[in-house]
Amino acid sequence: MMGIERLAVMFGGCSSYRSDSRSTGGDALSRVEVAGMLTGMRPHEVDFVYAFFGDKEAELRLVAHLSLVAHELAKREAWKAIEDAMLERMAYSAVREILDKRCKACKGTGFKGIKACCQCGGIGMSRIKDNGIARWLQVDPSNYSRVWKRRYDCVFVYVQDIEFSVKSIIRRSEGRDAILLA
């Protein structure tokens, strides 16, 4: 079972856990298990966490969920002649972009030791360029910027919201454990 500390480090921005728990000693960290933390999450948020750690089935479930989201968006905005395959490509691309955008050098934390990561300039992530997304969606770049970019960004932002939500649940869980274990 992954420790909460590792999970926190992998998601970045949660490094306060170590300093918050100094009064409880190092052993406290190993007693906290991820399962407890996941209980507060919705199914697609749990899938996001598992997909983040490379679980392909969780990733497929997440993509299926997002395909439905894209489908709803297409219906609401009355997109014309949209194929399911296109909605699936949008969903898959958004998931891959979020999961892959992390800087490999610093694992998305923005730091190498105590210095800012020089690969990503300390941001911890980078978005894929428009041409790359256009290729993923199998549309030409001008069509992408004219029609698909705004649509794709809606789906991308939806995945980003899942990520934010997961991170805030992790932070809340850290705070709660710090109180319980103090």
Q: How far is the CB of 115 from Zn ion (least distance, A)?
A: 11
Q: How far is the CB of 124 from Zn ion (least distance, A)?
A: 6
Q: How far is the CB of 114 from Zn ion (least distance, A)?
A: 14
For the record, the structure tokens of 44 come out as 């697609």
Residue 12 lies near Zn ion (rule: CB under 5 A): no
Q: Which stretch binds Zn ion (CB under 5 A): 35-43, 65-73, 80-88, 96-104?
A: 96-104
Site string for Zn ion, 30-69 (x = CB under 5 A): ----------------------------------------
One residue of 8, 51, 87, 120 binding Zn ion per CB under 5 A: 120
- Angle between helix axes 43-52 and 4-11 (nearest 10 degrees) is 80
Residue 29 lies near Zn ion (rule: CB under 5 A): no
Q: How far is the CB of 127 from Zn ion (least distance, A)?
A: 14
Residue 126 lies near Zn ion (rule: CB under 5 A): no
- Angle between helix axes 43-52 and 56-76 (nearest 10 degrees) is 130
Q: Which is nearer to Zn ion, 66 or 120 (CB)?
A: 120
In DSSP notation, the chain reads --BHHHHHHHHSS-THHHHHTTTT-THHHHH-BHHHHHTTS-HHHHHHHHHHTT-HHHHHHHHHHHHHHHHHHHHHTT-SS--HHHHHHHHHHHHHHHHH-B-TTTTTSSEETTEEPTTTTTS-B-PPPHHHHHHHHT--HHHIIIIIHHHHHHHHHHHHHHHHHHHHHHHHHHHHHHHHH-
Residue 105 lies near Zn ion (rule: CB under 5 A): yes
Q: Which is nearer to Zn ion, 15 or 138 (CB)?
A: 15
Q: Which is nearer to Zn ion, 119 or 165 (CB)?
A: 119
Q: Which residues bind Zn ion (CB under 5 A)?
A: 103, 105-106, 117, 119-120
